[in-house]
DNA sequence: CCTACCGATCGGTAGG
DNA sequence: CCTACCGATCGGTAGG
């Protein structure tokens, strides 16, 4: 048998195609998420412009340049915070509405009022509950997005807002709401969103108290 | 007659005491006010952190270092914007309430509802009417004050808010409001303050429309 | 993801 | 109030 031609020695064989993730690579998604979480908290507490990418890196345990390995720009980080916030919010809202339909109470009569209560309670949880940095950042920092990013976020926000309209419409038809439905929705959202500015759980009121007060304020007897 | 001793020639006689203001000096207050106005508009449009003192100087027709002749720091300028906003707002509110008392309608019955309408309408004017940059800046940028400045602004804000409570209390006693008075006031303020985020006069609704919608939403029949 | 760095910008000041 | 400037900070990048 002739000596085989020398072939370039291949590196130790590795499986073809997409490599199985090593431990470090599997971490990658987590590191990215840690950055988003750190950014959400800092943007919420200090505002976007007053937060440096160095602050965020430090909070995620990285060096100053490292966020830019995961995100093209500071504004992309802000965008990621908002998208994550709206995604989670939409999911929670959908779950709340589903629970409502399957809880067995006779739909027709109680429905719109119970639905509004569920929507409001969910909104308070998103705005003020544990881990609630993402949506407040969206509410108070959307000016800092590029206009292209802003358009995308606005679309997600409209999807989140959509389920409120038929509920308010139904309440209006039963005389429990007098105002124009669209203006009412905007005013109600303002009342809820503004709680981010003043609500302090240490002062005694709970999110349920807040929900009761809101229902009493908006829904007529 | 002996020659008089030479006396140092005095500069052209000027009146004693506080000098009459020259044109340039009379301008000084105006220049300061121009800075505050320019700052209010820019802080409102871009946010405090995203506005540079150079932006403000340029808008007031000055060089980059000149704002610091009038204000010790950027944060002092912000503080001046807020104090001016609250001062003007308090004055307008007081006028609105006075007009109410002297318009001749029999007080007892209509009073609380008419009073709430006047308060809301005034608030919309302050937030959305012509020249309405100052109070929105206060609402959305108070975090950027030093804690000492914040305490002063908070005190003025409490004075502005005070007249709302007895009005809401009276409405509650006549059954036109069901919610707790203090929570109701906070929720109502949120609904009004949030209009800064979405109200667009070009979309057809007027401040009177907004006032009607708010009254219909909050005041039960 | 770190190291080392750049270019730009910013609040603020001295001196007139 | 302008001129001229400083020191610090910041978003972002090259190269490994």
Tell me, yes or no, if A138 comes closer than 8 A to chain B by beta carbon.
no
What Å value separates CA B19 and C1' D7? 40
Instruction: Answer yes or no: is A72 CB < 7 A from strand D.
Output: yes
Q: Which of A140, A209, A218 sits opposite B217 (nearest CB)?
A: A218
Please identify among residues 159-198 of chain B the ones whose CB lies closer than 8 Å to any CB of chain A: 177-180, 183-184, 186-195, 197-198
> Residue B121 has which token pair?
């309408």
What was the pLDDT predicted at A17?
36
Task: Write the CA distances from B28 to B15, B24, B33, B34, B42, integer angstroms.
Answer: 21, 7, 9, 10, 21
Confidence of residue A11 (pLDDT cuts 50, 70, 90): very low
**What per-residue confidence (pLDDT) applies to B101?**
77
Segment A192-218, tens digit of pLDDT:
999 999 999 999 899 999 999 999 999
Portion of chain B with pLDDT greater than 70, in percent = 83
Q: How far apart are CA A86 and CA A137, in angstroms?
A: 11
d(CA B95, CA B109): 21
Give A183's contacts in chain B (Cβ within 8 Å).
205, 209-210, 213, 217
Please report residues of B whose CB lies closer than 8 A to that of A172: none
What is the DSSP-derived secondary structure letter of residue B156? H
Contacting residues 19-58/B vs strand D (CB within 7 A):
27-28, 31-32, 57
Domains and CATH numbers, chain A: 22-71 (1.10.10.60), 85-218 (1.10.357.10)
Per-residue pLDDT tens over the stretch A56-65: 999 999 999 9
- Please report, for residues A51, B49, B97, B127, B143, the alpha-carbon distance to residue A47 in angstroms, rounded to integers and kept in the order given: 6, 9, 37, 22, 9
Exposure class string for B176-188: b at 16+ Cβ within 10 A, else e: bbbbbbebbbbbb
Least confident of B3-7, B51-55, B114-118: B3-7
What pLDDT is stored for residue A27 in this prediction? 62
Rounded to whole angstroms, how far apart are CA atoms A15 and A203? Answer: 60
Q: Tell me, yes or no, if B140 comes closer than 8 A to chain A by beta carbon.
A: yes
Q: State mean pLDDT over B82-106.
A: 87
B1 pLDDT more than 90: no
Q: CB A194 to CB B189 under 8 A?
A: yes
Q: How many CB atoms lie within 10 A of CB B50?
A: 16
pLDDT, mean over chain A: 88
- State whether the beta carbon of A70 lies below 7 angstroms from any atom of strand C: yes
């Amino acid at each position: 048998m002739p000596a085989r031609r020398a072939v370039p020695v291949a590196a130790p064989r590795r499986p073809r195609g997409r490599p199985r993730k090593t431990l470090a690579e599997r971490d990658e998604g987590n590191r990215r998420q840690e950055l988003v979480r750190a950014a959400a908290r800092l943007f919420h507490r200090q505002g976007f412009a007053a937060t440096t990418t160095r602050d965020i890196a430090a909070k995620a345990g990285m060096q100053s340049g490292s966020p830019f390995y995961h995100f093209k720009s500071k504004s992309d980080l802000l965008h990621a915070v908002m998208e994550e916030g709206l995604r989670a919010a939409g999911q929670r809202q959908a779950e709340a509405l589903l629970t409502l339909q399957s809880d067995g109470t006779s739909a027709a009569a109680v429905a719109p009022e119970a639905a509004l209560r569920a929507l409001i309670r969910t909104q308070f949880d998103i705005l003020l509950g544990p881990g609630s940095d993402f949506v407040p950042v969206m509410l108070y920092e959307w000016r800092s997005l590029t206009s292209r990013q802003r358009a995308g976020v606005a679309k997600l926000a409209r999807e989140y807002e959509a389920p409120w309209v038929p509920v308010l419409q139904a309440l209006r038809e039963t005389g429990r709401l007098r105002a124009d439905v669209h203006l009412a929705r905007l005013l109600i959202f303002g009342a809820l969103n503004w709680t981010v500015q003043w609500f302090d759980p240490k002062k005694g009121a709970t999110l349920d108290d807040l929900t009761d007060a809101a229902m009493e304020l908006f829904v007529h007897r």
